């Protein structure tokens, strides 16, 4: 049986059956013992202030990391500094909204565990339905399963007792980015109300850093894509320039070849014309020579008379 509950800020000043700290009978009555009552409330406020200061420090260290995964890694370490015995962070995947992915967790020996290979359907995660519905914090009571080989993320539910596990959603601009899971299973302590307040504050601060990191990563991918497109365009432009250069060279060579062909055709036409003129001249000259030879054979003395020669020609 699973028992889930929301945190009530009134638990800071009055203990309940599900909240650690003093029971209702142990809370000083400010009317009957005003000095003691003020002192008790001052102690509660002082503890809360210290936790919030520590949470702010952890959030600043996590937000200063260069990428979301390094941010979550530092967050897991910071959660242990807040007093939780174990901590794990699960994140959503924008490309696969139906699942939760592991990042960094804590073993049963309080050692760091790389859980990036873990992936579960969103609905199978503890209190995922409440957190997906807008619930900020979900408190439960767990116990450690028997056996040393039990994975760190596997626990047994207990129906009664003060909560020793908390799950808090990390949201930015209404989008669920992940779930922080902390517990006190390495020990016997319960989760105090001031722990929950510090946890909520820390989740809000880190969610902003994660959203910013995802946006930057998305911009980097877009930038890389644009750079690749620009590089591809440059290659196409260079290839086009080379092709145009080669085309220009080919066109120049073709123009020169065309000029040579035209020149050759002109010379051939001129040769044909000269050959025709010579042929016609030879024909006319042959007739003249023929008549002269005939004149010399028939009347050699006629060559001395120009009038006779003209008559023959």
Q: How many domains are contained in the chain?
A: 1
In a domain, 68, yes or no: yes
pLDDT in tens, 223-246: 999 999 999 999 999 999 999 999
Exposure string for 278-296, b = 16+ CB within 10 A, e = fewer: eeeeeeeeeeeeeeeeebe
Q: What is the DSSP letter of 5?
A: B
Beta-carbon contacts of residue 6 (< 8 Å; ≥ 6 apart): 135, 136, 137, 138, 139
Q: Per the domain annotation, does 259 fall within a domain? A: no
Domain range enclosing 79: 9-221
The answer to whether position 1 is within a domain reads no
Q: Return the pLDDT at 144.
A: 87
In-domain check, residue 64: yes
- Cα 61 from Cα 145, distance rounded (Å): 34
pLDDT tens digits, residue range 19-41? 344 433 344 444 444 445 667 67
Q: Average pLDDT, stretch 155-167? A: 89
282 in a structural domain: no
Residue with tokens 């142990």: 26
**Residue 150 falls within a domain, yes or no?**
yes
Identify whether 244 is part of a domain.
no
Tokens of 239: 């290839």
Across 286-312, average pLDDT: 72
219, pLDDT greater than 70: yes
Q: Assess contact for 200 and 168: CB atoms under 8 A.
A: yes
Give the burial string for 61-86 (b: 16+ CB within 10 Å, else e).
ebbebeebbebbbbbbebbbebbbbb
Is residue 25 within 8 Å of 56, Cβ to Cβ? no
Quote the CA–CA distance of 115 and 137 in Å, as a whole number.
Answer: 22
In a domain, 291, yes or no: no
CATH number for 188 = 3.30.450.40
Lowest mean pLDDT among 19-23, 186-190, 268-272, 286-290: 19-23
Distance CA 195, CA 139 (A): 12
């Amino acid at each position: 049986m699973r028992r889930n509950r929301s945190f009530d800020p009134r638990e800071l000043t009055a203990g309940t059956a599900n909240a650690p700290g003093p029971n209702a009978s142990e809370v000083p009555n400010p009317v009957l013992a005003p000095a003691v009552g003020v002192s008790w409330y001052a102690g509660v406020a002082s503890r809360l202030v210290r936790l919030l200061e520590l949470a702010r420090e952890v959030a600043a260290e996590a937000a200063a990391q260069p990428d979301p995964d390094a941010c979550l890694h530092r967050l897991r370490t910071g959660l242990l500094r807040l007093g939780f015995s174990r901590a794990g962070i699960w994140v959503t995947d924008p490309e696969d909204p139906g699942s939760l992915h592991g990042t960094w967790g804590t073993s049963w020996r309080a050692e760091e565990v790389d859980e990036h290979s873990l992936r579960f359907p969103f609905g199978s995660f503890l209190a995922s339905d409440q957190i997906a519905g807008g619930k900020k914090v979900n408190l439960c009571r767990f116990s450690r399963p028997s056996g040393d080989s039990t994975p760190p993320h596997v626990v047994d539910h207990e129906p009664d007792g003060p909560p020793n596990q908390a799950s808090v959603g990390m949201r930015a601009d209404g989008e669920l980015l992940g779930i922080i899971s902390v517990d006190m299973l390495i020990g016997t302590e319960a989760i105090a109300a001031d722990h929950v307040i510090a946890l909520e504050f820390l989740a809000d601060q880190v969610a902003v850093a994660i959203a910013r990191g995802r946006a930057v990563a998305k911009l980097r991918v877009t930038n890389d894509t644009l750079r690749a497109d620009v590089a591809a365009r440059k290659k196409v432009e260079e290839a086009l320039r080379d092709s145009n250069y080669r085309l220009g060279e080919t066109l120049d060579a073709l123009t020169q070849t065309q000029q040579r062909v035209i020149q050759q055709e002109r010379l051939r036409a001129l040769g044909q014309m000269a050959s025709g003129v010579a042929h016609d001249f030879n024909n006319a000259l042959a007739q003249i020579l023929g008549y002269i030879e005939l004149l010399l054979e028939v009347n050699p003395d006629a060559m001395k008379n120009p009038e006779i020669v003209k008559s023959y020609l």
